[in-house]
Amino acid sequence: MTSFSVFLPSGFAGELAGLDPADAFRRITAVAQAADELGFHAVYVPDHLHPIPPSQAPVFEAWTMITALAAATDRIRLGPLVTSNSYRNPALQAKIASTIDIVSNGRVIFGIGAGWYEPDYLGYGYDFGSAGDRLRRLDEAVQLIRRFWTEESVDFEGRYYRASGGLNQPKGIQQPHIPVLVAGAGEQKTLRTVARWADASNIIDSPKVLRHKYDVLRKHCADVGRPYDDIRRTATTSYILGASDAEARARVPAGAEFAFPGDLASYGLIGTESTIRERIAAFEDAGVHELVVGFEHGLDVEELRRFADLFF
């Protein structure tokens, strides 16, 4: 049975433009609390520093937001989808996450990716580099982060990162460590990093493509001697409920292909109730354990309630 999680707005898509920031955060918190009450598995927030496209619209810092939501909820798991490895030193990132695991009483999911949004890098003075370089950094960073969660003292000398006698207390509540989710679908590097170091994978694509990606992941797992079913398979999708399929598809926002490969309207949770049920089943048949849902009206608690009433 596929579980459902909520992709919360944080301002990255410009969805908070024109809102008072304090009121916007109260509304985001109310959505997270409703998700907690309704039985969603997790709430996730993106980790970006500028809106897309860049503007003066507000964007909340991800880990600060997660900490506040941890204090405002009781049961639901929470984390970034995903934190950019480039924005924080991975050893410090390990400490941030393990502290929040204490604050949340063991509810953190540590989502991480290589980073991709160049305006964030340029605006904050980070080295963008090549995609290959960012992916190699990611693989090394995940190794270092896991060691800060499992070893008393960390000595590490990598190509990109190092630590000498690094200490991290508290290490968090979850055992043997906070679960690591790596996002991305690259078949040569990212999915191999998932097989080697991650507890979960997140890919944004259609069920047909996901089947292929999971076959690739299965082969990487075999290569490194890891049981494929040890990895929780998550996918991100979009939800638009309509009176007809055509009406719902007409509401897919312009530019959706920037985040969702291919024709989102043909595979997302977009259409009538029966169409959405069929698409949930297609994701489940492809091997997805958890669907992370971006709602059409991300600040609308009632939309969450209706989804839960229909599909839980």
Q: What is the pLDDT of residues 81-119, one digit of tens each?
A: 999 999 999 999 999 999 999 999 999 999 999 999 999
CB-based contact 43:8 (threshold 8 Å)? yes
Q: Can you give the pLDDT at residue 258?
A: 85
Mean pLDDT of the chain: 97
Q: How many CB atoms lie within 10 A of CB 66?
A: 29
* Annotated domain spans of the chain: 3-311
For the record, the structure tokens of 16 come out as 């908070």
pLDDT exceeds 90 at position 151:
yes
pLDDT exceeds 80 at position 164:
yes
pLDDT exceeds 80 at position 28:
yes
Across 208-220, average pLDDT: 98
Query: Residue 43: pLDDT band by 50, 70, 90 thresholds?
Result: very high
Q: Can you give the pLDDT at residue 299?
A: 98
Q: Can you give the pLDDT at residue 2?
A: 84
What's the whole-model pTM score? 0.96
Query: Residue 257: pLDDT band by 50, 70, 90 thresholds?
Result: confident
Helices (H), 151-272: 190-197, 207-224, 245-250, 264-267
In angstroms and rounded to an integer, the radius of gyration of the C-alpha atoms of the chain is 19
Strand 3-7 with 42-45, pairing = parallel
**CATH class given for the domain over 3-311:** alpha beta
Across 45-51, average pLDDT: 97
Task: Find the helix or strand (DSSP H, E) in which 311 lies.
Answer: helix 301-311
Across 232-255, average pLDDT: 96
Across 15-42, average pLDDT: 98
Cβ neighbors of 175 (< 8 A, separation 6 or more) are none
pLDDT exceeds 80 at position 225:
yes
Coil/strand/helix, residue 115:
coil
Percent pLDDT > 90 in the chain is: 97
Q: Can you give the pLDDT at residue 293?
A: 98
